Structure 1
Amino acid sequence: MARRFADIAAPDPDADWSLPGWLYTDPEYHAVELARVLRPSWQIVCHQNDVADPGDFHTIDYLGESVIVVRGDDRRIRAFANVCRHRAMRLVEGPRGCARKFVCPYHAWTYETDGRLSGVPMRRDYPALQLEEHGLAPVEIELWHGFVFVRLEGDGPSVAAMMAPYDAQIAPYRIEQMHALAPVRLRARAVNWKNVGDNYSDNLHIPVAHDGLTRLFGKSYAIEAHPYVDKMSGQIVDRPSDNPWERFYQTHLPPVDHLPAANQRLWLYFKLWPNMAFDLYADQIDFMQWLPLSPTTSVLREMTFALPDDRRAMTLVRYANWRINRVVNAEDTWLIERVQQGMASHSYTAGPIGRSEVCLRSFARKIRERIPEARLHRPPAPGWSRR
């Protein structure tokens, strides 16, 4: 198993310890984590081709906020809070749609797709109202290789800066030209959001818990960590698998002319700080983010994209990919739900972390930098976050 160790500017005194269990269950800590880690983070919403025409919009709901991404009449993509400036009514429902204007269903205040407030019934009844000051609240937005990200607050690095170490590896996939294969999927999980991410970049569990991936990759699985992104990868081996869907994928994956030879049978995984991942295959790309609902529950938001390709072999291989990864996801769900239960045990504090577990070390380091109390193996007295 190949490994690459993250370059660290200064030694972390807790580098040999995992994050303690109380961080996965404690409500007070959870509130601090939302404020210091999740609200200042970038979150993927959709692909630019999902909002191809003026008025097309996608939404994302997380951390008590709802955000609209919309393409304006000027064809520019913008993001706004999904909140009317009058009485805080939600303007649109559902994950996607098209609207020439946003009309509030409560009192019919009307907003243009560039966020301007353009219509107010009984306007003269509001002596303090200035239309130009009551447009939709903007949300920071970034386009990266065609994907649309938003950030509620903060001034940390851009998505492009975080992903810069791997930009050259990603470029051949032409993801700017991709289109969605299916609507956004939401799947609830009875786990703290960090347990999903920890498992995603945990290299040691692959040969133990994922027979299918082990059959597909052999001993080629490798990991490495950069400051804001983890990379995992494996080459599909030539030895035919005993599993029919794995063997079908191995046998029938068609060539993809724009990819280098080394990428034709490469499964490439990236985890982007703090709670997003995308899986690059020759046939498609899967995005996933794990959004917290409570200290012990979260929701997986999943999307799949691909380049147009009407070859029958590609259609069938994409189905085989889904069948393979459905089993992997079920295995991971079983694991993380039981880890979550263990995190609630008073017998567990923090576990030793191996030198090879570079991705887990990198994530834990960033959490401890933002929340020093995360270094404590036992929770401090209640009220610590207000002192």
Structure 2
Amino acid sequence: MRMETTTLSSVRRPISSAHGLPNEHYTSPAVFEEEREALLMAGWSGLAVAADVPTPGDTVPLTFLGIPLLLIRDKSGTVRVFHNICRHRGMILVDAPRKIEGAIRCPYHSWCYSTEGRLVSTPHVGGPGQNTADGIDKSFLGLIEVRSHVWMGVVWINLSGDAQPFEEANADLLARWIEFDKPLYHGGEDSHFQLSVNCNWKLAVENYCESYHLPWVHPDLNTYSRLEDHYHIEAPNRYSGQGTRVYRQLSGDDNRTFPDFEGLSDKWDTAAEYITAYPNVLLGVHRDHAFAIILVPQGPGQTTENVHLYYAQPDTDPALRMRNAAQWKQVFEEDIFVVEGMQRGRQTPAFDGGRFSPAMDGPTHLFHTWVAERMMAHRAAANAAE
């Protein structure tokens, strides 16, 4: 069966003559399913944060791209991701966050798994009182693990299983932010919030990548971090975003600020950077805090944004943390009407994908090009397999 077809050649042109992605890439369920495989399952996507499972035995069931997954910190402290199904009859193993004190027990027939995923018990599988059976080899029937990696506090997963190792696939970004390769401390409940947005997940990426909209969408932010203070960050096929040369630390009523990350170069005294690690993780770094926004696509026109803030020390001022979270929430909420407005605009067949400002839209154009090239390669491989 031939894959859904959209014309993408104009997206891959130089920025001065390129068009953006066609409407179907924001509205079509069929194209959404294509992108699910080609963009989100084939590479390293953000799933959650390691702080969701802070201590050994902590377990959180998640649904990502319709797939039931299980985030767990095993008894040795390693964060793992499994498909949340029993190997017997495919029953969901965990349906709510909880602490695993012993084994992960299937509620259907009581098959049990260790927190490392090993099948450890199959009661009555050979008949009443017989806990073994021919053909049931526990060593081959452990939980199905998803490749995962933790960086910048984010749990990244590769669902297809065949991407380059995370450190190779993201080598440039890891090198760019090597100074932040140190412990990050999640701020806790007051440093996590969720936004539900009526737009395709790619529009959230596109908006985050550029600073062009700052004067009109973020007027308060633009008073001290002006459009002309920003610069582009462009790494074709890997990531893109923007930086500012005039980051201003938040301070409390007593002029207290968050402690800085240790060992930073002078650049970070006033700079901050905001990068999308393709496909779905929006990251920000500053001298005194960092954040991660994990975009969870819920369908062609619906996205959940999970926002988490991190600090250089574990015990920062709670009042200042709350002010910081409130400030960022205001900024991110200011973007909602824009991305939702663009989503509504994609309903008209008169829109041809739009054009890009060669001076201002470079990071967004790079993302469109990455999507187009991945999609074209995916379609070529699917058609060759017919």
**For structure 1, which segment, 90-99 or 349-358, has the greater mean C-alpha deviation from structure 2 after superposition?**
90-99
Alignment match, 1:225: 234
Alignment match, 1:283: 288
1:288 deviation in Å? 0.9
CA offsets 1:97-140 (integer angstroms, 9 cap, x no match): 44431011222111011211111221213654222221111111
Q: For the residues of structure 1 that align with 2:329 and 2:114, how far apart are their CA atoms?
A: 41
Q: Which secondary structure does the structure 2 equivalent of 1:372 belong to?
A: helix
Match of 1:209 among 196, 212, 217: 217
What is the 5 A alignment of 1:109-258? 109-125=111-127, 127-144=134-151, 147-173=154-180, 175-182=182-189, 185-218=193-226, 219-227=228-236, 228-236=238-246, 252-254=256-258, 256=260, 258=262
Q: Check the 8 A contact 1:117/1:134 in 2, yes or no.
A: yes
Match of 1:37 among 31, 39, 44: 39
Alignment match, 1:26: 28
Alignment match, 1:17: 19
Match of 2:81 among 72, 75, 79: 79
Whichever residue aligns with residue 276 of structure 1, its letter is V
1:255 deviation in Å? 5.3
Matched, 1:372 2:376: yes
Q: Check the 8 A contact 2:260/2:312 in 1, yes or no.
A: no
So what's the TM-score if we normalise by structure 1?
0.82
Q: For the residues of structure 2 that align with 1:249 and 1:43, how far apart are their CA atoms?
A: 39
Pick closer, same or farther for the CA change 1:333–1:149 going to 2, 3 Å: same
CA offsets 1:219-258 (integer angstroms, 9 cap, x no match): 31222211311232224467xxxxxx97869965355262
Q: For the residues of structure 1 that align with 2:312 and 2:151, how far apart are their CA atoms?
A: 17
CA offsets 1:23-82 (integer angstroms, 9 cap, x no match): 110111111111111111223345556545432334432111122233333444432111
Q: For the residues of structure 1 that align with 2:348 and 2:376, how far apart are their CA atoms?
A: 22
1:189 deviation in Å? 1.6
Alignment match, 1:358: 362
Q: Check the 8 A contact 1:179/1:308 in 2, yes or no.
A: no
1:201 deviation in Å? 0.7
Q: For the residues of structure 1 that align with 2:384 and 2:122, how far apart are their CA atoms?
A: 43
Aligned residues: 361
Q: For the residues of structure 2 that align with 1:341 and 1:220, how far apart are their CA atoms?
A: 31
Pick closer, same or farther for the CA change 1:31–1:111 going to 2, 3 Å: same
Q: For the residues of structure 2 that align with 1:121 and 1:210, how far apart are their CA atoms?
A: 60
Q: For the residues of structure 1 that align with 2:316 and 2:53, how far apart are their CA atoms?
A: 26
Whichever residue aligns with residue 375 of structure 2, its letter is I
| Poorly superposed stretches of 4+, deviation over 6 Å | 384-387
Pick closer, same or farther for the CA change 1:169–1:364 going to 2, 3 Å: closer
1:145 deviation in Å? 5.3
Q: Percent identity, aligned pairs only?
A: 23
Q: Which secondary structure does the structure 2 equivalent of 1:286 belong to?
A: strand
Matched, 1:105 2:107: yes
Q: For the residues of structure 1 that align with 2:163 and 2:253, how far apart are their CA atoms?
A: 40
Q: For the residues of structure 2 that align with 1:37 and 1:311, how far apart are their CA atoms?
A: 37
Q: For the residues of structure 2 that align with 1:214 and 1:308, how far apart are their CA atoms?
A: 29
Matched, 1:306 2:311: yes
Alignment match, 1:7: none
Q: For the residues of structure 1 that align with 2:115 and 2:241, how far apart are their CA atoms?
A: 37
So what's the TM-score if we normalise by structure 2?
0.82
Pick closer, same or farther for the CA change 1:327–1:121 going to 2, 3 Å: same
Q: Check the 8 A contact 1:212/1:324 in 2, yes or no.
A: no
Unaligned runs of 5+ in 2: 1-10, 128-132
Q: For the residues of structure 2 that align with 1:223 and 1:39, how far apart are their CA atoms?
A: 28
Whichever residue aligns with residue 273 of structure 1, its letter is Y
Matched, 1:341 2:348: no
Pick closer, same or farther for the CA change 1:374–1:188 going to 2, 3 Å: farther
Q: Check the 8 A contact 2:45/2:279 in 1, yes or no.
A: no
1:334 deviation in Å? 0.9
Q: For the residues of structure 2 that align with 1:351 and 1:374, how far apart are their CA atoms?
A: 24
Q: For the residues of structure 1 that align with 2:90 and 2:35, how far apart are their CA atoms?
A: 26
Unaligned runs of 5+ in 1: 1-10, 239-244, 376-383
